[in-house]
Amino acid sequence: MTQNCVILLVEDNDDDEELTRLAFSMSNIANRLVVARDGAEALDFLLATGSWAGRPPEDEPCLVLLDLKLPKIGGLEVLRRLRDDPRTRLLPVVILTSSVEEQDVIRGYDLGCNSYIRKPVDFEQFTEAVKILGLYWLVLNQPPLPANPGGGGADK
């Protein structure tokens, strides 16, 4: 993956957004970061609806960092809707949350998240986690080809 791909950060906490931006910068992750402040805005961006209708194709995200405790629509519901839509079914989603609820971990994986990371409270640990996350998801991981917007299925 290149630094041209967009990362969607779904985060309602300004401090956590700033920490993520700082950690990306310190880890030399130069990808454009788009921030959605609630679940409804995240779905609008990902599905190119609402205020994001007509979103340019180059803004198609290659990775979603998803908090769980969000206004309007919770993170687990956002994940469920992403997995139900053929355009976003295969999009890598990393839950990045402070939730320590075991049921959130289980539900996240049941709904198809690719990874579940609890945000470390310590800034140095958080920066290291973001660095590793960026290395894996943006450099090492081999993503599937983009979904066919025309709705065609895979060849059999």
DSSP 61-116: EEEEEE-SS-SSS-HHHHHHHHHHSTTTTTS-EEEEE----HHHHHHHHHTT-SEE
The verdict on residue 153 lying in a domain is: no
What is the pLDDT at residue 2? Answer: 53
CATH of the domain at 113: 3.40.50.2300
The verdict on residue 105 lying in a domain is: yes
The verdict on residue 1 lying in a domain is: no
For the record, the structure tokens of 76 come out as 């687990």
The verdict on residue 150 lying in a domain is: no
Regarding pTM above 0.85, the answer is yes
The verdict on residue 149 lying in a domain is: no
| Residue appearing with tokens 């998801």 | 137
Residue 56 main-chain phi, psi, to 5 deg: -60, 145
What is the pLDDT at residue 132? Answer: 86
The verdict on residue 125 lying in a domain is: yes
The verdict on residue 151 lying in a domain is: no
What is the pLDDT at residue 14? Answer: 94
Domain hosting residue 69, numbered range:
6-140
- Structural domain count of the chain: 1
> How many Cβ atoms are within 10 Å of 54's Cβ, its own excluded?
7
What is the pLDDT at residue 76? Answer: 98
Query: Counting beta carbons within 10 angstroms of the beta carbon of residue 14, is it exposed (0 to 12), middle (13 to 18) or buried (19 or more)?
Result: exposed
Q: Mean pLDDT per segment of 10 residues, for the chain of length 156 residues? A: 80 92 87 96 96 90 95 98 95 92 96 91 82 83 62 38
The verdict on residue 148 lying in a domain is: no
What is the pLDDT at residue 145? Answer: 64
